[in-house]
Structure 1
Amino acid sequence: MNIDLEKPMTHLTENKEDRYRPKYHMTPPVGLLNDPNGFIYFKGKYHVFYQWNPFKTDHSTKYWGHFTSGNLYEWHHETSVLAPEDWFDHSGCYSGSAIENKGNLIAFYTGNVKNEKGERETYQCMATSKDGMSLDKKGPILHLPDNYTAHFRDPKVWKKGSTWYMIVGTQTKEEEGMVAFFSSENLTDWEHHGPIAGSYMNGLDYFGYMWECPDLFSLSGQDILIVSPQGLEAKGDKYNNLFQSGYFIGEMNYEDQTFSHGTFTELDRGFDFYAPQTTIGSNGKRLLVAWMGMPDEDEKNHPTIDNCWIHGMTIPRELSIMEDKLYQKPVEEMTCLRTKEVRHNKVSISTDFHEFDGISGNSIEMVIDILSKDYEVFNMRVSDAIQVSYDSSTNIFSLTRRKYHSEIDEVRECILEDLSSLNIFIDVSTIEIFINGGQEVFSARYFTDNKDSSVLFSCEGELSLKITKWDMKNSIIF
């Protein structure tokens, strides 16, 4: 179904300065964007479908929007590919995944239905495409098994050997989050093998009331389960967002249909990161994109709704495992957006905040290398809304932002034994910070009325840095 974007909202944004729209991060042309869906490399193009309400900046309805790219850095917005218009999905085409089979792209998604009594019904559905640019619905291929509530969604499908497998995010009737496991020989008939992970499994205690957006894949000989649990209580510097996204490293036994794993680790320590999804890139690397937002948070006063859109995606990231930890780094293709390099091979910073020539801008990339480490606290300030700090005496790395529509500062932190490098992407109202080659990542949206695009540095003690900055080209095409 093609959507007439002139009717829903664009007329409301005429003559308005869209001052918060990023230049190289995917955002919706209008309306609300959330979970990435069906991330896949298919017939020479990357496809990122996504949850989209093109008519309002709320979650009242969900289509599948669509971005394509031939190179992972320049993205074209396409027409919508799924609309909530059938008996099995009329209350929303919810999240899912995509695979390639026999030259066709096959998408799996959750059809959400609210019946006449206001009760939720859920159907796992299939849609097919020959070119990836439109999807032909085939209807439900999996109904709700026993022992789960209707919070049963977000199918992720993959093939191992000659068998297809599916995991689905679930809530049990005891209101415990889990991941359900299925297998199929033909993609339409699915056998349920029960849960493979969740509360009170594999040594976990209670671990949230719902697990969303599961993703299971192998990397460097180990199996990784990514999931977004809801209902975790904050513990020190962990689990401080409303909902979390993270991973377990373990071993999937396909014969026994069991997954043994270690502890849960958050993927991103910032404010805005949820519902990540991965795929295999054209070079065989495991890639990830995520929603830079958070479900159920206050969106009524969000600064971008004046321009009739809300939320965006992270830049694509490449995953690897080092020392039993998942590392994330920007895909190499992002370097193609660099222009106007400015380099300071060795600068010294002191207690007073200092700006270096050419190190500023609202759509930039920076690489900062720590050359000497005889200091206690390193600080970097972006405009008046973001501060990055590392305290070498406590090993605490922190990201502080000014909360929009208030004078309150809020903080996210992690323990970091050493700080050697930062790779930072600043994009108008978006920041992604990759620490020590992707050992930790902090992602956040930020909003300020101050048009100052300066980047300032200070420290307590003596510190020298190598700073390289590039302006970044615009790369989103509507």
Structure 2
Amino acid sequence: MHNKKLNDSYNDQYQLFSYFRLINDPNDLIYHERTYYIYMQNTPYSDDHKNKSWLLYTTKDFINYVYEGIVLTPLCEFNKHGVFSGGAFVNENNEIDLYYTGNIKDENNKRMSNTLIENVDFKNKKVNKKLLFQTDLSLYTGEFRDPNIVKKGENIFMLNGAQNNDKKGVLSIYKKENNLWKYFKDIKLDLGCEQNRFMVECTNYFKIDNREFILSC
């Protein structure tokens, strides 16, 4: 099936694609030890947006790419309905940590989300998984996702897309303190804007000419 796709005249030769089935949501391009790591969501077992996993490509020059396969997949009670989007961050031990949303749905199809971290040891083929926290339902609905890690000075923050209990989209910020993630504050992104978003997703932080920007959906 994979060879058939490669030889298909409709196959796009100028994009990264999965070995099988659909892909979406690239998750934090990161540069580490002379290699670029490109993660993205992949549903390898279905054409539906269910049971999301993450696949990985690596490259040193953005010309030649290596498909590394599936690196995250739903295997525990905290992510059993899908490994949703997130980001990568190089920790104090010079290792890549993957932060992501574990998707959970109850019998009524109501969503609950968990924020997890996984450290992948590619050389020894080991994965260390840890639940960081569950969504605080006193502040948010189950729509809480896509952690992005930002270091500012000595402080480390986590940006999350969220929907508060008023059904308004907010940027939820957590701060790392003594190896624990604690709620810091919410930022409303629509102040003074006609748009009235009901959800924030896929947040990203960057700087241009010493100005700080947050990009989100």
Of 28, 31, 45 in structure 2, the residue corresponding to residue 55 of structure 1 is 45
Could you tell me how far 1:131 is from its partner in structure 2? 4.6
| Structure with bigger gyration radius | 1
Q: Conserved in 2, the CA contact under 8 Å of 1:181 and 1:194?
A: yes
Look up the match of 2:157.
165
Of 39, 42, 46 in structure 1, the residue corresponding to residue 36 of structure 2 is 46
Look up the match of 1:215.
204
Q: Conserved in 2, the CA contact under 8 Å of 1:82 and 1:135?
A: no
Could you tell me how far 1:36 is from its partner in structure 2? 0.6
Distance 1:97 1:15, change over 3 A: closer
Look up the match of 1:176.
168
Q: Deviations over 1:69-92 (max 9, x none)?
A: 011232211121111110000000
For 1:176, the aligned partner's letter is K
Q: Deviations over 1:377-426 (max 9, x none)?
A: xxxxxxxxxxxxxxxxxxxxxxxxxxxxxxxxxxxxxxxxxxxxxxxxxx
For 2:78, the aligned partner's letter is F
Q: Deviations over 1:183-223 (max 9, x none)?
A: 1135x411212212333x3x234432111100112221000
Aligned length: 215
Could you tell me how far 1:17 is from its partner in structure 2? 4.9
Distance 1:119 1:221, change over 3 A: same
Q: Conserved in 2, the CA contact under 8 Å of 1:42 and 1:132?
A: no
Q: Deviations over 1:39-72 (max 9, x none)?
A: 2111221111111001222212200111110112
Please show how residues 79-94 of structure 1 align to structure 2 within 5 Å. 79-94=69-84
Look up the match of 1:29.
19
2:124, 2:169 → 1: CA distance?
34
Please show how residues 126-145 of structure 1 align to structure 2 within 5 Å. 126-131=117-122, 136-145=127-136
Task: Say if 2:68 is the partner of 1:65.
Answer: no
Please show how residues 293-312 of structure 1 align to structure 2 within 5 Å. none
Look up the match of 1:150.
142
TM score, norm. by length of structure 2: 0.90
2:82, 2:26 → 1: CA distance?
15
Distance 1:78 1:64, change over 3 A: same
Gaps of at least 5 residues in structure 1 are 1-9, 229-478
1:219, 1:16 → 2: CA distance?
39
**Aligned-residue CA RMSD (Å):** 2.2
For 2:214, the aligned partner's letter is L
TM score, norm. by length of structure 1: 0.42
Look up the match of 1:19.
9
Look up the match of 2:183.
192
2:112, 2:18 → 1: CA distance?
28
Could you tell me how far 1:96 is from its partner in structure 2? 0.5
2:134, 2:6 → 1: CA distance?
46
For 2:167, the aligned partner's letter is E
Taking only the aligned residue pairs, the percentage that are identical comes to: 27
Task: Say if 2:215 is the partner of 1:226.
Answer: yes
Please show how residues 105-124 of structure 1 align to structure 2 within 5 Å. 105-124=96-115
Q: Deviations over 1:415-471 (max 9, x none)?
A: xxxxxxxxxxxxxxxxxxxxxxxxxxxxxxxxxxxxxxxxxxxxxxxxxxxxxxxxx
